[in-house]
């Protein structure tokens, strides 16, 4: 009888330890990340969506001077930073990086700059143009269109825990 009772006590203690320990163990891995697009001056939030490490954030716009399509692709990092992984652009010209340390390929009328290293951003800030910014997407699905954000506003895209 002592063994059975002691065994139950041990099992109960083990279950309690596991139940109490699970939130602590999962806290580091299960932290939620949130992408927010806001006005830099007023703090007004225009979009807030959950994201996770490894998600691909992309945004497409038209270059204001060259008038070529430009898409940048970032990977969400565990700390919320954004790692620029590739750029697709319709050509080279004013302000378009032509000599990056990356690989280049030409496909479907676009130049792809890939395998970009060392371009990690804690956030993305810009002065918004409804005509130049076309869309922002998460894992290939549009989450907001440029026309949904205020013209000439100072915008910030940031991912936080």
pLDDT of residue 62: 85
Instruction: Looking at the structure, tell me whether residues 24 and 85 fall in a common domain.
Output: no
CA distance 124 to 72: 12
Split into its structural domains, the chain has a count of 2
> What are the residues facing 33 on neighbouring strands?
51
| pLDDT computed for residue 100 by the predictor | 76
Q: Are residues 57 and 132 in the same domain?
A: yes
Q: Are residues 141 and 69 part of one domain?
A: yes
Whether 25 shows a pLDDT value over 70: the answer reads: no
Whether residue 60 is found in the same domain as residue 112: yes
Q: How many CB atoms lie within 10 A of CB 89?
A: 20
Residue 74 sits in the same domain as residue 18: no
Check if the beta carbon of residue 35 is closer than 8 Å to that of residue 57. Answer: yes
For residue 85, give its domain range: 33-160
Q: Are residues 39 and 5 in the same domain?
A: no
Based on the domain organization, do 20 and 93 belong to the same domain? no
Does residue 142 share a domain with residue 122? yes
pLDDT (tens digit, 9 = 90+) per residue, 120-131? Answer: 999 999 999 998
Per-residue pLDDT reduced to its tens digit, 57-94: 999 988 766 678 889 999 999 999 999 999 998 877 66
CA gap 17, 30 in Å, rounded: 19
**Whole-structure pTM value:** 0.77
Residue 99 CA to residue 86 CA, distance in Å, equals 14
Question: Is the confidence at residue 44, as pLDDT, over 50?
Answer: yes
Query: Where are the alpha helices (H) located in the chain, listed in sequence order?
Result: 2-29
Q: Do 58 and 84 sit in the same domain of this protein?
A: yes
14 and 45 both lie in a single domain:
no
User: Are both 95 and 151 inside the same structural domain?
Assistant: yes
For residues 104 and 101, what is the distance between their CA atoms, to the nearest angstrom? 10
Q: Are 86 and 130 found together in one domain?
A: yes
Cβ(95)–Cβ(65) under 8 Å?
yes
């Amino acid at each position: 009888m002592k063994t059975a009772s002691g065994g139950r006590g041990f099992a109960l203690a083990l279950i309690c330890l596991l139940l109490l320990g699970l939130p602590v163990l999962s806290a580091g891995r299960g932290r939620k990340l949130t992408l927010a697009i806001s006005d830099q001056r007023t703090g007004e939030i225009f979009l807030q969506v959950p994201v996770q490490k490894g998600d691909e954030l992309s945004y497409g716009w038209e270059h204001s001077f060259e008038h070529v399509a430009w898409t940048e692709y970032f990977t969400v990092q565990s700390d919320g930073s954004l790692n620029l992984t590739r750029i697709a652009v319709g050509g080279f010209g004013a302000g378009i990086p032509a000599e990056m340390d990356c690989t280049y390929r030409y496909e479907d009328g676009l130049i792809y700059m890939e395998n970009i290293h060392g371009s990690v951003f804690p956030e993305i800030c810009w002065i918004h143009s409804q005509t130049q910014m076309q869309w922002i997407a998460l894992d290939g699905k549009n989450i907001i269109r440029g026309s949904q954000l205020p013209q000439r506003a100072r915008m910030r895209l940031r991912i936080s825990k």
